[in-house]
Amino acid sequence: MPGPGVAAAALLALLVPAAGLGAGATDCDVSPGSRFDCGPERLLAREGCEARGCCYVPAGPGPGPPWCFFPRGYRSYRAENVTATGSGYTARLRRVAASFLPGDVGCLRLDVLLETPARLRFTLRDPARQRYEVPLATPRVSGQAATTLYGVQVNEEPFGLVVYRQRSGQVLLNTTVAPLFFADQFLQISTSLPSHFISGLGEHLTPLVLDTAWTRVTLWNRDMAPVPQVNLYGSHPFYLGMEDDGSAYGVFLLNSNAMDVLLQPSPALTWRTTGGILDFYVFLGPDPKSVVRQYLDVIGFPFMPPYWGLGFHLCRWGYSSTDITRQVVANMSAARFPLDVQWNDLDYADAKRDFTFNKRSFKDYPEMVQDFHRRGLRYIMIVDPGISSSGPPGTYKPYDEGLKRGVFIRNATGQPLIGKVWPGPTVFPDFTNPETHEWWHDMVKDFHDQVPFDGMWIDMNEPSNFVEGSQDGCPNNNLEHPPYVPGVFGGRLQAGTICASSQQYLSSHYNLHSLYGLTEAIASHDALLRVRGTRPFVISRSTFAGHGRYAGHWTGDVGSNWEQLYYSIPEVLLFNLFGVPLVGADICGFAGDTSEELCVRWTQLGAFYPFMRNHNDHGARPQEPYAFSPAAQAAMRSALHLRYSLLPFLYTLFHRAHSAGETVARPLFLEFPQDRNTWAVDRQLMWGAALLITPVLEAGQTKVSGYFPPGTWYSLAGDSTIHSKGQWILLPAPLDTINVHVRAGHILPLQEPAFNTAESRKKGMALVVALTPGGFARGDLFWDDGESWQTFERGDYTELLFLATHGAVLSQLLRASAHLDGVRLEAVTVLGVTSPPRQVLANGALVDDFSYRSDTQASAESPSVAAHVGAVCDQLVLSQCWTHRAAPSSSRAESIPYNAAPGLWLLSWLTGVTRAVYTGLALGILAQPPGMGETSSSSKRVKKDPSAL
């Protein structure tokens, strides 16, 4: 294979067609794991199978190899006229033997585009007929990459494409393994896989790593309470694969039709879709973080949420009045639980109709929301897409206006299709129609003028329908009954939704169904931006590729059980790979009764969901944090305080996601791709590169086993250090504890928690510095006003870089704004200093009030070889030095003298040693607000100006 960096001209020289195996090859000596199904649309007996020219070998019952499979060399398409173009090359594909499918396309056009050094795109289209293509904005590339990480080869007959990594020669995509099919309503292409590691292809209730033992994954958005092995709310036809050497690659099929993806043990993968075109992107990484970023370069980087959206959200179906809703907020305050956003389910609406409220039970609804605002809280309510159609003309503006403006999806007769959801008979807005966006904006504005809500919760937008298709049924045509129906729950495309043949502005619902939630999210995002003028906050149930540009996602109606608690981790991790970092599950579960222990453990894990909301069903037991015993409340309060203390770090991670295409919550293999032990870990998660979270996911456990990649890991609680060689460690985990470890080499910005983010943003900040054995650490902070639109794009933000090296911690202001004015650095904790410092300096001024501890021990047992768990630094105990586990104390405070150099401060210590294996130190340097005065007999008034970051 050519070496890396091959020029595009040299790459094209590789495109000489390879010799085919010849027509009529009927070799059936194919290993079971490499057999590709010749009867995708129905079961075939021997006679029918062999009539297709395929092999018939009965196998055992249950999932396994197909009985009817393609022989080697099965004839399909032949590649002709391979020609270089300015962007790559093109070829004509001609079918050389009739297929068994109706509507076979005899001639295809192949375009291969060398878009970037790490991104290849290829498409297969019908050159004689315009077919539906996904209306997703993707990068327009002129020309071609001069050098590439990939090479491409074409097989002439039977046609196949081979994509390989230049550096290693590893084949990433090889479509010669099975024949290509391209018919009007059935497209199929198969490929080998370089390893059994494949992750993605959402949304399903699965582990992080998909099973390649004859697994079928169906994509067709569906209102379905999450259970394994069924299609759920979203469609993300993207997968990330790992190679044996730790390199990573990704594949994205830009197609929104109903589809199956089949995995088999050879290993191999088959795409089967029911329409559109084949439009593939291949991402070369070479590391998994780069693969995700390259994918997001195509579908769009995530939106930046408002700061308040990262706080705690509380909801329940059953808050049936403003009195009850107000009481919930009062109870949260009385029990000292942080709360940023109060929600209401359908209870608020008049007869469950959008953009209305019940004038009896919610008579003071606008005043309630305004009162929440005065207390620093935000408010969100549910909005379903189904618009009630049963009222007399002139009684319901959303329907009357929508009918007048022609914004509703139409049935086969051209009339608005009528289904049924919560309000009864309903019509469905067509969000692919630009006029619908204007109508939606008008309805949002009208309601916001009455009730000043802060965000939108868009539910039921697969779209869900309580009758199959419509109240009048669906036509008997090929869109409702295609020749191939993927494994959708219910067995029919219209099951649980509207007719596939219904018409929308851009195409049929058959093509656009899985885009419904995305298009509603775009309309809602744009409406909120225009109405409120600040950063929109939208949470949606239904999603598609590119959704993260506009909205977040919650994982639907999960059950209140331990299995669903576990599955929430791979769900959160996968949606971060899909570019939807603002994601979380309903804490404590939605359906059924939770238990106290489950709710505590779920709250602890939920504190590390990027989107944190407790929500449950109206028939279930109450599960607000204050509804449990004092001990459970204390554990939940601790978890919430921990989250709130970490919000500056979390917000910075979201900034990186928005500006650079990074993930917020991430699987371990993203950070440690060379460590194969991390590849399948999905009972832990990381926040960025710095925090490792190890939750308890089983009942009755007071210890938990977690994998620690090689390196030094400090407990965020300050009670242990793990020096791991890459091992599983058994950690103590009493009910009031979730294990969180800081990776050596990182600096975390923290802030004192408060009842809500409006208050916490005014509190003092702190740093946790986790030194490597060489004494190095790095971190940063992104800070703006928390809600204005496009602060990063406009340059209206503050950014600080933190560096620790050679016994000093340095802060450098990279960009300044007024948003940090008045915020003080109040504590610095340095983990990993081996010897007691002889002196500590802050900007050259001697600091007397510090402490050093290395006497705290913690034991950790390993199922295999124990890692080294040693003494760790405790924090310096100084006045008003806070942590997530301790209230402010009342001993003496010192402020940090501010350096004359703008935006620069320096903290340093001298130990008398130049290099060591660090095990502990914590420093706290505090600034007391001017005029605070004496808080106890031992406190002193600060005499110097506070040090602003």
Report the distance separating Cα 411 and Cα 193, nearest Å: 42
Summary count for the chain: helices (H), strands (E): 16, 49
Q: Which of 568, 573, 660, 580 is nearest to 614 (CA)?
A: 568
267 phi and psi angles, rounded to 5 deg: -90, 155
Among all chains, which residue has been given the structure tokens 């308890």?
A: 696
Q: Identify the CA nearest to 571 among candidates 215, 196, 204, 197.
A: 204
Neighbours of 3 (CB within 10 A): 8
Pairing outcome for strands 665-666 and 721-724: unpaired
Q: Given CA atoms 317, 322, 324, 328 in this order, what sign does their dihedral have?
A: positive
Around Cβ 128, how many Cβ atoms within 10 Å? 10
The CA-based angle 411-414-416, given to 5 degrees, is 60
Write down the residue that tokens 């092995």 correspond to.
229
Alpha carbon distance 268, 70 (integer Å): 14
Contact 459, 553 (CB under 8 A): no
H-helix or E-strand spanning residue 440: helix 434-450
Q: Is 442 marked active-site? A: no
The span from the CA of 152 to the CA of 174, in Å, is: 10
Q: Do the beta carbons of residue 693 and residue 686 sit within 8 Å? A: yes
* Cross-strand partners of 706: 729
Residues 6+ apart with CB under 8 A from 201: 210, 217, 219, 236, 237, 238, 239, 261
Q: What is the DSSP letter of 619?
A: T
Task: Give backbone dihedrals phi and psi of 149, rounded to 5 degrees, phi first.
Answer: -80, -10
Determine the Cα–Cα distance for residues 151 and 14; give it in Å rounded to an integer: 8
Task: Choose among 423, 461, 419: nearest CA to 440.
Answer: 461
* Distance of alpha carbon 329 from alpha carbon 335, whole angstroms: 10
**How many other CB atoms are found less than 10 A from the CB of residue 660?**
10
Distance CA 664, CA 655 (A): 9
Name residue, tokens 């204007």. 438
Which residues have C-beta within 8 Å of that of residue 327, sequence separation ≥ 6?
Answer: none
Nearest 10 degrees: CA dihedral of 254, 260, 264, 270? Answer: -50
Tell me the two tokens of residue 900: 């004359």
Euclidean distance between CA atoms 769 and 803, whole angstroms: 9
Is 350 an annotated catalytic residue?
A: no
Token couple for 630: 């004092």
Q: Three-state SS across 691-755?
A: EEEECCCCCCCCEEEEEECCEEEEECCCCCEEEECCEEEEEECCCCCCEEEEECCEEEEEECCCC
Task: Classify residue 494 by burial, with Cβ atoms within 10 Å: 0-12, 13-18, 19+.
Answer: buried
Catalytic-role residue among 279, 459, 557, 874: 459
CA distance 703 to 860: 10
375 φ/ψ sector (left φ>0, alpha ψ -120 to 50, else beta): alpha
Catalytic-role residue among 430, 462, 557, 799: 462
User: H or E segment at 250?
Assistant: strand 248-253
Catalytic residue numbers, as ranges: 459, 462
